[in-house]
A and B are shown apart, each in its own frame.
Chain A
Amino acid sequence: MKGFDLLAILLNPGFSAMLLHGIGMTFVIAIGSWVLAMSLGILLLAVRLLPLGHIGSRIAEGVVAAYISYHRNVPTLVQLMLWYFGISSLFPDAMQEWLSDHSGEAIFAIVGLGLCQAAYFSEDLRSGLRSVSPGQEEAARALGHGYVGTMRFVLMPQAFRNALPALVNHTVSLFKNSSLAMAIGVAELTHAVKEVESESFRTFETYLIATILYLACSLLMMAAGAALSRRATLAGAR
């Protein structure tokens, strides 16, 4: 084994470019799937809350519950593999070709991770909404807000505040899960690490750099989440 030398990786333009490109891709995947997951999570919750009548809302409830149950009980890696190897094979040939020309693996990673995490976000928001006391809704309605206004201005802000710690935790795990995209060939940070490692033979240094990068991002997110929660509690206490 060669002596410990971090700079041999960091100062090598090839290796540092690969790692930088990797972390960029990790952020693209994480942010893309976060946006998808949050929008879909809110949409799923909205579908559950829609006044669709007795039978309509039972069907909507069943569909959303099945969606959430599937995405929470099947491993994320398996969901990604099903998208990338399985579902993509059902697409028409022209679309498959377009996808393989336009880094389809990254698109599938964003879609797979986003759809999976939407289930968690939706459940977080739902339990956040459930812990808002019923008096809030009655008061808002009594003050003349319609259904949408009550949701938009009174209930959802409180639901988000209640759900904040869980949402932050799941955001961190979404960021960490972006590493699973390497298994379907996305050139994100973990993938770049394996490449740099096999070219430089400096396993320890390469892993150390990647670990520090991941850890720094996760801790920053946790700290930001804690700061947000503190502000939200203060605002609530006023």
Chain B
Amino acid sequence: MLQGAISIISENWLLLLVGQYPNGPLGGIAATLMLSVLGIVLAFPLSVLIALARISRWRLLRAPATALVYLVRGVPLLMIIFWVYFLFPLLLGANVPGFATMVCTLVIYEGAFLSEVVRAGIQSLPAGQMDAARALGHSYPRAMRYVILPQALYNMLPAILSQFISTIKETTLGYVINVPELTFAASQINNRLLTKPFEVFLILALTYYVVCFGLTAAATWLERRIATRRAGPGAAPLAIMETAG
């Protein structure tokens, strides 16, 4: 079994790594990572806007943002993929490739989830921060921009990183609409070999495990580091251990 797995890797490592590139579209791990990075990077500004709208004083901003977040949170990602897959070509009047469909879906989905993270970050800051900034003469937008958001986003870095890990796991659903990414590559290999499904999907699972476990470890390290910095130089190391636990 181990021999089978090694021969699958040695014969298909390029397909698993970059797909059919440069002779075809980029696939494999490279496409998975590119989808996740594009998804989270583009979702980030959207999520800040949604979060700001959700805590806004004006109902006209608050209501649609809240509705959007609940809508996205209440529907399976697969349904959102189907919606984008169906609606975007209609709206744009052009063919939308699977890769772009997946990126758009991830931006909508992660935008909503990340906005909850950002909102929690803003609301967990002491109210005195906003009061002090306003008292110093900053307008609400300036206080948000220069005082609140920098602190909130810094505190939220570990949560944003774990959202990135979820995004990597969610790119697997691209398989359902034939986006050439890692899961798609593995199922291609499986369809070609037919005789070693266990080995192929075990390799697939372990590959995801290595990538996501590495990032999880990074998130834990970051969380500890931020806790240390937040605790200040005078704090005893005990306080760090408690939060990191």
Q: Which of B75, B199, B208 contacts A74 (CB 8 A)?
A: B208
Q: How far is the CB of A136 from chain B (nearest CB, A)?
A: 18
Instruction: Evaluate contact between A183 and B175: CB separation under 8 angstroms.
Output: yes
Q: Which residue of A is nearest B200, CB measured?
A: A86
Q: Which of B49-57, B76-84, B128-136, B225-233 sits within the interface?
A: B76-84
Q: What does DSSP make chain A's interface, helix, strand, loop or mixed?
A: helix
Separation of A176 and B168 alpha carbons in the complex (Å): 18
Separation of A116 and B83 alpha carbons in the complex (Å): 27
Instruction: Evaluate contact between B76 and A219: CB separation under 8 angstroms.
Output: no
Q: Which residues of B contact A122 (CB under 8 A)?
A: none
Most buried by A among B82, B170, B175, B202: B82
Q: Which residues of A contact B212 (CB under 8 A)?
A: 73-74
Q: Which residues of B contact A130 (CB under 8 A)?
A: 245
Instruction: Evaluate contact between A86 and B75: CB separation under 8 angstroms.
Output: no
Q: How far is the CB of B24 from chain A (nearest CB, A)?
A: 23
Q: Which of A69, A78, A86, A210 contacts B79 (CB 8 A)?
A: A210
Instruction: Evaluate contact between A176 and B76: CB separation under 8 angstroms.
Output: yes
- In chain A, positions 164-208 with a C-beta closer than 8 Å to chain B are 172, 176-180, 182-183, 190, 193-194, 203-204, 207
Q: Which of B10-18, B37-45, B66-74, B93-101 sits within the interface?
A: B66-74
- In chain A, positions 39-63 with a C-beta closer than 8 Å to chain B are none
Q: Which residues of A contact B173 (CB under 8 A)?
A: 77, 180
Q: Which residues of A contact B183 (CB under 8 A)?
A: 75, 77-78, 81
A94 at the B interface (CB under 8 A): no
Q: What does DSSP make chain B's interface, helix, strand, loop or mixed?
A: helix
Instruction: Evaluate contact between A204 and B213: CB separation under 8 angstroms.
Output: no
Known: A89-B198, A203-B86. A75 touches B79 (CB 8 A): no
Instruction: Evaluate contact between A85 and B204: CB separation under 8 angstroms.
Output: no
Q: Which of A85, A182, A194, A214 contacts B75 (CB 8 A)?
A: A214
Separation of A77 and B176 alpha carbons in the complex (Å): 10
Instruction: Evaluate contact between B86 and A179: CB separation under 8 angstroms.
Output: no
Separation of A81 and B76 alpha carbons in the complex (Å): 18
- In chain A, positions 125-153 with a C-beta closer than 8 Å to chain B are 130
Separation of A201 and B228 alpha carbons in the complex (Å): 58
Instruction: Evaluate contact between A218 and B74: CB separation under 8 angstroms.
Output: yes
A234 at the B interface (CB under 8 A): no
Known: A76-B169, A86-B198. A81 touches B187 (CB 8 A): yes
A95 at the B interface (CB under 8 A): no
Separation of A219 and B71 alpha carbons in the complex (Å): 9
A222 at the B interface (CB under 8 A): yes
A-B contact pairs, 7 of them (CB 8 A): A72-B216, A73-B209, A74-B209, A77-B172, A85-B200, A193-B82, A211-B75
